[in-house]
Structure 1
């Protein structure tokens, strides 16, 4: 029973809970349709920004750590950590921090986003010593946790602002998270389908920052109108000025370091493609993120990768062959080597920027179709048959495992003429327990082709290219039926070819299928060693820029 003349404390508590608090709206004041629409727009746009920052993280970390399992796992983990922390802190701020407004949190998130390109290079270089796994996670944590946490704080505050009665808190919370999720979906689609193919990562990040600052400014004006306090406008508009200054001072420039000059750079939806000239050894490199996918000697124009000269020997195993399909264009050197023997090569390349770089900087201009698309999809569409199919779609640091299954090899076999040869390049360990992935590839080839031989590109290194020649007929060397001279380096490899032949026991390995394909997780050590090799060839400072 409540005594006359004394307020019911429980009624007072309910009134405070229903009225909002947190400083954005006077306690007990209901919000109208305009207020609710603006607040839902805020969670929609911040939800889009969260996913855009997460996906752009692959473009920040990829050129240095590669876009593989480690980077994706790190980014997803950091995003989830930031969301959990942001939801928790946002709830506390909504209840207790009366002076910290919605516009303040979004403005600070915008500033933190604009600072990502500024701190990217020093963070990547400082985390390099931690290795690819810890380094990728630490880099993601340092670069992305602050803006993501601040953006996640928006949801709890908006839930409180939109809740006028305790009975409607469930509907308010559901609506807020629904709008945020829809924003995340739209942000991901817009980024992947439109923005990334058209502009660079830095430009998009600054665009996200400016968009958030505009949202913060609109919310600040709204909050000022509700509270009639000029001080609410200071932080959003100061942040807008700082972000604008960062944008104009930090425009995209071709990165260069002593001994290395970047002559071309482009961003595609698949990664960052760069052409880099090395002055000391006179080598031109083609990079896709942190992988070297092509290299030529600038003095002679000849390819630098030895395995290509093993592939040049293909006509001596099938002298009548006149057509080839290349899966994975790289720098486009193989069609030139095979062209010496009158072989016309069609090529499948997933990244249009790689194809553009091959044409403009590596002299790729040979007859044959250039098909842009994912090999798994494009192979199923082909009706033409070939004498040779060269499967060379590996960037060595990251293996597209879906292109190594028995189902994929069966599709390739169906495109071979009678007596045709499949040549497959796989980069991995040749000996020891780490050689199981190469053995699995061999076992999978055996399941489709009754005959195969294996050649390695190096006898001295623990990691090497494994070049498989597989066919439905015996793979026999028929050099006496080819009277065309090989390239100079091709002759050197040809003279020593059988020294590089490698035996893989049929007792090892397993058949790779679409249903069971553990290659990614089996090659953790290989990815780390390969990255050290790339850093020894290419400046770490250049990769981090």
Structure 2
């Protein structure tokens, strides 16, 4: 093999390795959520695989040339198959009952560690061949080998984050990683130790042919993995969304967690709220707010609460900050009342102008991170609803004292917060501590506890006393929250374990 061919292979396999690592973190979310814990597990597992693969590959590189080439080719074939099948393995283990932190650790190890080992297995052999290809220039050859690995890693991260995951989805990304690994196999050929680029080899090693049957079998297995279908109906780099229909109700799920629900019939006028936590939030807002409130919603979700507000109060205004434009597009297509409200009243709140519709300008939509908007906006609001989720967990940077201190500067009235946590769990205690530090009046209610031991816990905080509501949604009760540590930007929420 020529020097630049080997450098190219090292670069390409580094691209594949990092793309695979980021895709692993994304595809894990619909099954185990997104948090510091899950990302730490994925990164540690994949890096452990890279380390083991490099170590074993180093021993293989010392074998006779033909033997080493055979091992490298087999590793690439296995890499192609395992990468393409990773989502299938993940889904199968989850279906078999893998749950909790232990189940997540086991699943990540089984689904992603083997391919991580194998994709890095060829690197020592390729590096050895590159260094030997230019005798007397070992230093620059080694430097180019290391640079190719680093550049490939950077390119893989950018490719996954900006191209493949947002535009093609995780299943196609894994299949593409496997396909690229498979295409590398024919380029791993015999060469000559001490051969310069284009020079005649002094100790030729006859090339070992690629077995067409093995290539075809690997391609077939990869295709089978891709044919198992996408992880969800709609996917971007931020969201994995499914639309479920049960009777006359449409549910929007993000990473398999219900984010919103709406009746598909009878949605004219003021829509009926289906989810219990949304019913309590609206009852609280309806009691606390006047006839012309301006309300900030951090987290668009299904836009059901902004829709209810604007339908019930013709003079009300709202700004909904939703990080993922895909969520808004799916809502417009599948949730009748919210879709109509967006079409009739929404405008891009990041730009001047309020649209052409007669009552446009009432619902401003901002596709941006909620914390960025809170930090930078110069608008003022009468109330705020914090209902942003990544899977079933609140993003850590939206659950800090600094976030709510800034929120108090731009919101003159009450703040409402929706959480999912264990009863009196660490997230609830931390957010409750923040609100108690900033507001004299804080109320908390909790919904039914799921089979996973978690429930919706909804908080309301205000400078003025909060009047009692006449009734609570079915299964909800007023709860007392134990003292906890207020999360900060320095020591924040780490996610569910």
* TM-score normalized by the length of structure 1: 0.74
Residue 69 of structure 1 is aligned with which of 16, 25, 36? 36
The question of whether the paired residues in 2 share the 8 Å contact of 1:106 and 1:150 is answered with no
Partner of 1:329: 300
Residue 389 of structure 1 is aligned with which of 370, 375, 384? 384
The question of whether the paired residues in 1 share the 8 Å contact of 2:382 and 2:411 is answered with yes
Partner of 1:233: 209
- Count the aligned residue pairs: 456
- In structure 2, how many angstroms separate the alpha carbons of the residues matched to 1:250 and 1:166? 44
Q: In the alignment, is residue 421 of structure 1 matched against residue 394 of structure 2?
A: no
Counterpart mapping for 1:49-68 below 5 A: 49-68=16-35
- After superposition, the C-alpha distances for 1:294-340 in whole angstroms (9 at most, x for unaligned) are 23345656443201111112131122442211111112211122121
Question: 1:97 Cα deviation (Å)?
Answer: 4.4
- In structure 1, how many angstroms separate the alpha carbons of the residues matched to 2:117 and 2:449? 50
Q: In the alignment, is residue 287 of structure 1 matched against residue 253 of structure 2?
A: yes
- In structure 1, how many angstroms separate the alpha carbons of the residues matched to 2:329 and 2:464? 37
Partner of 2:330: 357
Q: Helix, strand or coil for the counterpart of 2:65?
A: coil
Counterpart mapping for 1:394-543 below 5 A: 394=389, 397-417=392-412, 420-431=413-424, 435-458=425-448, 463-476=454-467, 495-496=471-472, 502=478, 504=480, 508-517=483-492, 519-520=493-494, 523-524=496-497
Partner of 2:163: 194
- In structure 2, how many angstroms separate the alpha carbons of the residues matched to 1:108 and 1:411? 53
Q: In the alignment, is residue 214 of structure 1 matched against residue 183 of structure 2?
A: yes
- In structure 1, how many angstroms separate the alpha carbons of the residues matched to 2:143 and 2:179? 28
Q: Helix, strand or coil for the counterpart of 1:277?
A: strand
Q: In the alignment, is residue 153 of structure 1 matched against residue 121 of structure 2?
A: yes
For residues 398 and 469 of structure 1, do their structure 2 counterparts lie closer, same or farther at Cα, with a shift above 3 Å needed?
Answer: closer
The question of whether the paired residues in 2 share the 8 Å contact of 1:155 and 1:176 is answered with no
Q: Structure 2: which 5+ runs fail to align?
A: 193-199, 346-362
- In structure 1, how many angstroms separate the alpha carbons of the residues matched to 2:29 and 2:243? 16
- In structure 1, how many angstroms separate the alpha carbons of the residues matched to 2:325 and 2:148? 35
The question of whether the paired residues in 2 share the 8 Å contact of 1:405 and 1:514 is answered with yes
The question of whether the paired residues in 2 share the 8 Å contact of 1:326 and 1:392 is answered with yes
For residues 306 and 78 of structure 1, do their structure 2 counterparts lie closer, same or farther at Cα, with a shift above 3 Å needed?
Answer: same
- In structure 1, how many angstroms separate the alpha carbons of the residues matched to 2:404 and 2:388? 13
Partner of 1:345: 318
- In structure 1, how many angstroms separate the alpha carbons of the residues matched to 2:421 and 2:394? 10
The question of whether the paired residues in 2 share the 8 Å contact of 1:110 and 1:210 is answered with no
The question of whether the paired residues in 2 share the 8 Å contact of 1:109 and 1:147 is answered with no
- In structure 2, how many angstroms separate the alpha carbons of the residues matched to 1:497 and 1:83? 51
Q: Structure 1: which 5+ runs fail to align?
A: 1-23, 25-34, 256-261, 478-492, 525-545
Partner of 1:141: 109
Partner of 1:39: 6
Aligned-residue CA RMSD (Å) = 3.3
For residues 188 and 468 of structure 1, do their structure 2 counterparts lie closer, same or farther at Cα, with a shift above 3 Å needed?
Answer: same
- After superposition, the C-alpha distances for 1:37-91 in whole angstroms (9 at most, x for unaligned) are 2211111111111111111112332222223334323322221221222112111
Residue 176 of structure 1 is aligned with which of 145, 150, 157? 145
Partner of 1:377: 372
- After superposition, the C-alpha distances for 1:438-497 in whole angstroms (9 at most, x for unaligned) are 2221221122223332233449996432322222333346xxxxxxxxxxxxxxx85347
